[in-house]
Structure 1
Amino acid sequence: MMRIPSLIALGWFLVCGCAGPFELRKTKWSVPEVQEWYADYRTQKGAWDGILYRGSDSKYHHFVARVIWVDNWAIIQIKKEELALADERPYSTASSGDFGYYCVDPSRGFIKVQDQGMK
């Protein structure tokens, strides 16, 4: 009778242990936070030249950058009232098409540095 609870506990241990660390990633950023993070990010080998602008919805501008050293993504959302973009475009969560519109440089006021998105 003790075997079933032990097997269930072992199963949960394996599932949780193999799934990796569970941590909440920061997604809501301020402009100064992004600029500080980007200054450090640019020192990493293989860092992108800018962060990818993915579009804007009614509340946020959405950006993404690949974090090379952990093969992960930095998801960045900045409130629209904190940042004005010259070329604002609609944000889409569709999985087909371009991944974003263009790259911006946070260290230079989020100006456009590359005019094409990524697929």
Structure 2
Amino acid sequence: MTTPLYQLKAEFFKTLGHPVRIRVLELLSEREHAVAEMLPEVGVGPPHLSQQLAVLRRMNLVVTRKEGPTVYYSLTSPEVAELLRVARVILSGVLSGQAELLADLRSSAAPEGSPEGNARGRGRS
């Protein structure tokens, strides 16, 4: 019996559901990085970064190459970078909509007598 595609997608998105992994993928979207280069950018210790890189390797989202003692990581596919870009666009729209909703809520919740409340009440008798 094969695993349904929706379950595989859920596992894929679970893999992306960690801030360190997202940050690593963002860095690798720019170019390949050595582990030592990523450490100050992700803000975790070497063991934690290694653990998160291993998760990304197991899901075949990143690959490694070794040059002397240095291990370099890169994305397996440019579509990973595209997915992160699309997520940013979606989040920008969601946050923009939330900001508009918040502004509407604030203006409708202004107490009578306040500048916002007086402006709202103008024209009504």
Under a length normalisation based on structure 1, what TM-score does the superposition of the two structures give? 0.25
Under a length normalisation based on structure 2, what TM-score does the superposition of the two structures give? 0.24
Looking at secondary structure, tell me which structure has more helix per residue: 2
| Larger RCO: 1 or 2 (CA < 8 Å, sep 6+) | 1
Larger radius of gyration: 2
